[in-house]
Amino acid sequence: MSQPHTVILVGAGHAHLYVAAHAETLVERGARVVLVDPAEFWYSGLATGMLGGMYQPTEDQVNPRALMEAHGGEFIQDRVEAVETGARRLRLAGGGELAYDYLSINVGSRVNVGAIPGAAHDPSVWSVTPVSNLWKVRELLDARFRGGETPRVAVVGGGPTGSEVAANLTALATRHDVDMPVTLVTRSDRLIKQAPAGAARALLRNLNRRGVAIRTHTRIVRREGESLIADDGGHLNADVVVLATGLEANPLVQETGLPARSRKGLRINAKLHSIADERVFAGGDCAAMEGFDLPKLGVFGVRQAAYIHTNLLASLDGKPLAEYEPQKRYLAILNLGDSTALSTWGPFWWNGRSSMWLKDFIDRRFLEGYRQHSGNTQQH
């Protein structure tokens, strides 16, 4: 009788929540299914709204242990430190090791704080990853507001996340009836560069109306004391800094020894496994699909989820694997923190309260679905 296969999921990202919620289908094939992650899942879709005071942290989380165990899988609360693909073995930060037959990696991305000298060890500098950082920033600001302080805040990065963060920092200050200086800095000539120009102008008007100072064509090269130093020598004073600069794949993918695209992630094919190892799958922000340069947005990881699950099943059954084709257009909605949101879909865009209603509905439905799958519909 053959030994049962071991399927290990590294990281409780968007894609692996789906696999965890359907783990029983793998278990029915005789597989041992294990999810390894150091913490709770924090959902990026509600993160900026949580920062702005619209949501509480419990509304933004899913318990991956409960989800896995409800569907016959196992959960190990630990961090994978190294992947030895030759031996098909993982080394855990806690000191243990795990052998696998099939591996799927969904560990997301990070902001490279070290790219700005002086930022990495400065307690006043926060990155937008992990998502839990945004809750910590809110706690920090709440405490300072209650103490009668009005800190100066700078957000570095003018993409969708940086723009949402700036908008929701302003919203948080408004909830406290505080006029907090917020500056949004981008090296680009405009905000949300990949969005339609009309959408970018609408966003700019919204932020300007609410007092956010926008500095374009500005590249921050150093954190020095309470200042951010730009490449032109200019200084921007900031008591709190939030970095929302370009995301790069979790460095764990570089530790696999498998082909990776610098900063983009593990190189995978349309079947979502490594181009060099058909037993190692990857999805979401830590994966770089051959022939595409996908933005690091959750919508891709969510859609890849069913393909990773299907292909793990096919691998166990010895059947052909399905091929994933990225969607050409996708809906992106930015929570602006003032009960409105900005939606884009390809060349089309619209903003207002209806956009915020739609975003809230989609995000809550996503999370509630996994809470129901874990047998817990209550916020925890």
Hey, where are the domains in the chain? 6-110+248-330+360-373, 113-245
Tell me the fold of 6-110+248-330+360-373. Answer: FAD/NAD(P)-binding domain (3.50.50)
Determine the Cα–Cα distance for residues 32 and 30; give it in Å rounded to an integer: 7
Tokens (6 digits) for 67: 């989800």
Strands 6-10 and 102-105 turn out to be parallel
SS percent in the chain: helix, strand, coil, step 5: 35, 25, 40
CB 107, CB 250: distance < 8 Å: yes
Q: CB atoms < 10 A from the CB of 154, how many?
A: 26
- Bridge pairing between strands 273-274 and 277-282: antiparallel
The whole-angstrom separation of Cα 243 and Cα 231 is 17
Q: Do residues 332 and 342 touch, judged by C-beta distance below 8 A?
A: no
Per-residue CA distances from 9 to 80, 102, 207, 312, 372 (Å): 10, 9, 40, 11, 21
CB 333 within 8 A of CB 355: yes
**Residues counted in the chain:** 380
Beta strand ranges found along 43-165 (DSSP E): 61-62, 74-77, 80-84, 89-92, 97-99, 102-105, 109-111, 125-127, 153-156
Give 208's contacts (C-beta < 8 A, 6+ positions apart). Answer: 214
pLDDT for position 3: 65
DSSP state for residue 318 in the 8-state scheme: T
pLDDT of residue 189: 96
Determine the Cα–Cα distance for residues 292 and 295; give it in Å rounded to an integer: 9
User: Pairing state of beta strands 102-105 and 74-77?
Assistant: unpaired
**CA separation for the pair 372, 21 (Å, rounded):** 10
- For residue 95, what is the DSSP state? S
Under a CB-based contact definition with an 8 Å cutoff, are residues 229 and 117 in contact? no
What is the spatial distance between Cα 137 and Cα 142, in angstroms, rounded to a whole number? 8
**Helix, strand or coil for residue 333?**
strand
Per-block mean pLDDT, blocks of 10 residues, the chain (380 long): 82 95 96 95 95 96 96 97 94 95 95 94 96 97 97 97 98 97 97 96 98 97 97 96 92 91 92 97 94 86 95 97 93 97 96 98 95 65
CATH fold group of domain 113-245: FAD/NAD(P)-binding domain (3.50.50)
pLDDT score at 202: 98
Q: Give the 3-state secondary structure of residue 345.
A: strand
**Would the CATH topology of 6-110+248-330+360-373 be identical to that of 113-245?**
yes
Predicted TM-score (pTM) of the model is 0.93
The DSSP bridge partners found for residue 331 are: 345
What's the confidence (pLDDT) of residue 280?
A: 98
How far are the Cα atoms of 119, 163, 204 from residue 243, in angstroms, in the given order? 9, 11, 19
Instruction: Give the pLDDT of residue 232.
Output: 93
**What pLDDT is recorded for position 378?**
44
Give the pLDDT confidence score for residue 1 in this predicted structure. 35
